[in-house]
Chains A and B, each alone.
Chain A
Amino acid sequence: MEGFFQFSQILWQLVSNPTNLLVVFVASLLGIGFGALPGLTATLGVALLTTLTYGFDVSTALLALLGLYVGAIYGGSYPSILINIPGTAAAAASALDGYPMSQRGEGAKALGLITSASAIGTFIGLLMLVFIAPFIASVALQFTSFEFFLLALFGILISGTLTGEGGAVKGWIMGMLGLFLATIGRDSLQFFPRFTFDQPALDSGLDIVAVLIGAYGIPQVIKVLSDTSEVKSKASASFDSMKQGFASVYVGVLEAFKYIKHVVRSALIGVGIGAVPGVGEDIAGWVSYSAAKKGSKNPETFGKGNAEGLVSAETANNACVGGAMIPLLTLGIPGSAPAAMLLGALILHGVNPGPTLTTERPDFLLEITAIMMLATFAMFINGTILAQRVAKLLTVPATLFMPLVAVLCVLGSYALGLNVFNIYVMLPFGILAYCLIEMKFPISPLVIGFILGPMADESLRRALLVTEGSLFPLLQRPLAIVLLLIIVVMVLSQVPLINRMFKKKKVVF
């Protein structure tokens, strides 16, 4: 009860400041626009906005960043529904049933459905964050350096395993490359310069924002410009055909409550998947869609404009936002790519997410919850009232705004440190990231590895310093043993010989 009063107090403080309301509504609208424009992603939006919010206090900056994050995940469904091109990867599953609905003349209703589903999904994700995060944080307080090292390794490996196409090897390679990038610069224990090649600019290591903008922004610019499609004409036709029917958005908003069973189930799936490091909203959408199809009495109608499928995919991807915040705030491990960018922003603002967060800033979890609630509210209002305006955005061709995004990437990577060297790092890194993405190497493990690198390095060496190089104390700690076992099983499960043995045993039994 005391917590509830505290939460109400924080929420009131945020709401009573008109600047905060303006920031969250504008950021949410910007996020919806970012999500809606094919080629722009939630991660890129958060990365670029981080630069602009550097001068803000933490609460206002988070209002802007979370407002944009929630808005972008929701906005990605607009082009999925209207032109069958997902605005973000998170909205890919929404296109399966959203577009056929739009073709049937129910586009506006579909937009209404996803508005409610996304809002409820984010809200359930929030509830889970409030109830689960303190428990995980209290467990994490028992962690020593060994557990932190294993946790970092686990984060990198699990994200590599789940995002690598056709096996975990490519994902793990990217994770290790991310770890390597984190070692560039002077190490924190002995201040020894590693891989700096006598370049003073590299002494402080690679700038996190420059690396993230390079990893997510530049590949997107190259990909979209070199792969231009007929998005514009398709969007114009779709927009013109539904101009008259935008009032149906309100019908859809109310109709979403008919599917409350799907909404709750998908939200729980979304939270669960969001909490796994590095696995983003796109996987949540697909898993939830598949669960809805399996549980449906009419699975044959899925892919032909079934509202259940659309609602399930949309609820899960937005619930994932709350889920991704759980490991981020309690363990310092981002649950998704935009959450990784959010972690960078929090560090820039002097907030260090992790087990000690609850002792350093006892109210922070409640503050984040209140901010996300406001962000959800802003998304819902913007989505309901401004659906027509956002849909009109789709008629802007990617070839016109992508060059501008490239300029923003350059300015974004420069502006935080006022260092031209960051731009010089960002570009080759972006080109390399583009080549690797094209060759089916996932980018999330690299980012997770880069972010968790300092934690892994420091924890490993501190742990070994305490035990004077002995690994036996690791085996005396139950938490460390559990983590180690999970890692070993995860690695062994990717070895073909062991995989085959298990399959044979299954056949025998």
Chain B
Amino acid sequence: MKKTTSSPDRFIAILLLIFAISSAMVASTYPINESWGGVASAWYVSPALLPLFISFCLFLLSITLFFRPSNSVWHDYFSGKASHKIWVICALVSFVYFLIPNIDFYLSSVLFLSLLVGRFHLVSDAVSKPLGFIYVVVCMFVLIALGLQHLLPLFASAPAPTLATNVADITDIIGVLGTAACIWVLHVHKVKVFLVCVWLPLLLVIGFRFLLLVPMPTEGSVILLLNEIFTQISSLFVGKGI
């Protein structure tokens, strides 16, 4: 196959070249012969030494890649459906940057799992579309709650964070119940799907939070409720001297 200027390797080579030059520029601002923190420095102990060496190597390698690209074209790379990939990446991004920092970890996990299982396992539009719809609605409500959190302090002394968190959590609980209802009503293999989407995240949260004592990234209504139950149960055992 003929090598073209639009070879993906060439595109990557240009990106790498820009990266190498910019990292070299940043590294050149580090102390080379000047003193740092009261300690006299020399070029051979400078913190810039390795970054400059790496930038130089990357520069040479990217030029080599530019002039000797493989014969592949864009179509040869990235197997599988592009729409599926975008779906997975969007779901991951919304889960990590949007749901995890703002709502209860269990609730966000259930929504995320339902979205992916609905899209890739249940396949049928009758199930995956409502699940996707619920996910988007919940995300929008979380967005509104976040807006409230930032706007309400501007007016009087409203308890903005509590109110916003409550709005987000209540929306999520409704979302999770809606998701559960969708799976229950619309799909025949509900036991398996329920196990993965509802029960396994619960087990994960219990395992990490109460056995490994790892606090969850965000602890909302469900984890606080679990905590309350766990405290009550352990106080029962402590009371009996077990």
Contact = CB atoms under 8 A, between A and B. Distances in A.
A403 B70 contact: no
Contact of B92 (A406, A453, A460): A406
B223 to A, nearest CB: 13
A431 B89 contact: yes
Contact of B196 (A166, A194, A401): A401
B61 A172 contact: yes
Contacts of A189: 45, 47
B18 interface: no
A400 B196 contact: yes
A461 B120 contact: no
Given A407-B204, A440-B77, A427 B196 contact: no
B65 A460 contact: no
Interface string A193-207: 011000000000000
B112 A424 contact: no
B220 to A, nearest CB: 15
Contacts of B81: 226-227
Interface in A205-253: 218, 221-223, 225-228
B45 A420 contact: no
A225 B57 CA distance: 36
B100 A410 contact: yes
A461 B78 contact: no
Given A190-B41, A461-B44, A415 B57 contact: no
Given A176-B61, A192-B47, A439-B8, A399 B121 contact: yes
A337 B108 CA distance: 31
Interface in B60-94: 61-62, 64-65, 68, 70, 72, 77-81, 84-85, 87-89, 92-93
Interface in B30-57: 30-31, 36-37, 39, 41-47, 49-51, 53-54, 57
B49 A221 contact: no
Given A195-B26, A407-B112, A400 B117 contact: yes
A406 to B, nearest CB: 6
Contacts, number: 171
Contact of A190 (B39, B65, B84, B217): B39
A374 interface: no
A453 B39 CA distance: 24
Interface stretch (A81-89, A95-103, A464-472): A464-472
Given A176-B54, A406-B116, A418-B215, A190 B44 contact: no
Contacts of A399: 117, 120-121
A424 B44 contact: no
Name the interface size band of chain B. 35 or more
Nearest to B31: A192
A138 B50 CA distance: 29
B36 A192 contact: yes
Contacts of B215: 418
Contacts of A440: 70, 72, 77
B229 interface: no
Given A170-B65, A228-B120, A420-B101, A195 B23 contact: yes
A183 B44 contact: no
- Among A167, A403, A410, A465, the most chain B Cβ lie within 10 Å of the Cβ of A403
A22 interface: no
A295 B113 CA distance: 50
Contacts of B80: 223, 226-227
Given A169-B68, A195-B26, A457-B49, 14 more contacts: A166-B70, A169-B64, A180-B54, A190-B36, A226-B80, A226-B88, A227-B81, A400-B193, A403-B113, A403-B117, A406-B95, A423-B100, A440-B77, A460-B50
What are the nearest 10 A-B pairs in CB distance?
Answer: A464-B44, A227-B80, A226-B84, A403-B116, A399-B121, A469-B44, A192-B47, A226-B80, A399-B120, A226-B85
